[in-house]
A and B are shown apart, each in its own frame.
Chain A
Amino acid sequence: QVQLVQSGTEVKKPGDSVKVSCKSSEYTYADFGISWVRQAPGQGLEWMGWISGYNGKTDYAQKVQGRVSMTTDTFTRTAYMELRSLTSEDTAIYFCARDLNWFDSSGQHSRKFDFWGQGTLVTVSS
């Protein structure tokens, strides 16, 4: 069955960088992308961006643009999300999710996150 397994808990200081990994299994990696979604304590879901499993193309949310880099290693089927210049506002659980998206014939965007990693807690504190 499809599985996404993420790296473990991270504790960082303000100004540091963090790199979270997400290893996929049991599906054709190039047929899907990986999105990263974070959730601050007690808060809702926030989409950070997407990377294609086919060609590594990326699309980042404006809020983290310039601080985030998403990469992928197709041989190990692992996606990475690096976030730089951390502040306390980046304290959150970071999830990766398998992402299938397309535009239909009428131009409507369809997107589904059908499998999720278990989440990685990143705590930023001095």
Chain B
Amino acid sequence: QSVLTQPPSVSAAPGQKVTISCSGTSSNVGKNYVSWYQQLPGTAPKLLIYDNDKRPSGIPDRFSGSKSGTSATLGITGLQTGDEADYYCGAWDRSLTAVVFGEGTKVTVL
């Protein structure tokens, strides 16, 4: 069982918006920065968001991140079929002294 809690799946029609939550504790999300990764089927994960809300170069602004207290959120607007993937949140846990990830959320474009 993962330390960070994410919904197993979310779905929406093309062009719509989805949000993915990532719930943690004061040991991880509450006191450290959150990053988000996209994993397309059969490929390595890809960094989407770091430091809660920053996008690496090349990541479109359709992807956004936010954090409040012990929860973080990834938003995807203008949903495209190419966005169908698993999405993971990650953060440092100061009690475990380890990077912890959520279980992953599968995004389906209807």
Interface residues of A (CB under 8 A from B): 35, 37, 44-47, 59, 61-62, 95, 97, 101, 107-119
Flag B62-94 by CB within 8 Å of A: 1 or 0 each.
Answer: 000000000000000000000000001011101
Chain A residues with Cβ below 8 Å from B35 are 111-113
- Chain B residues contacting A46 (CB-CB under 8 Å) are 101
Find chain B residues with CB under 8 A from A62 CB: 96-98
Known A44-B2, A116-B44, A118-B44; contact A111-B37, beta-carbon cutoff 8 A: no
What residue in chain A is nearest B94 (Cβ atoms)?
A: A109
What CA separation (Å) do A99 and B98 show in the bound complex? Answer: 13
Chain B interface residue count, CB cutoff 8 Å, equals 27
Can you list 17 contacts pairing A with B, beta carbon distance less than 8 Å? A44-B88, A45-B45, A45-B101, A47-B101, A61-B98, A62-B96, A62-B98, A101-B92, A109-B94, A110-B32, A111-B99, A112-B50, A113-B37, A113-B45, A113-B47, A115-B47, A116-B45
| Residues of B near any A CB (own CB < 8 A) | 2, 31-33, 35, 37, 44-47, 50-51, 56, 88, 90-92, 94, 96-104
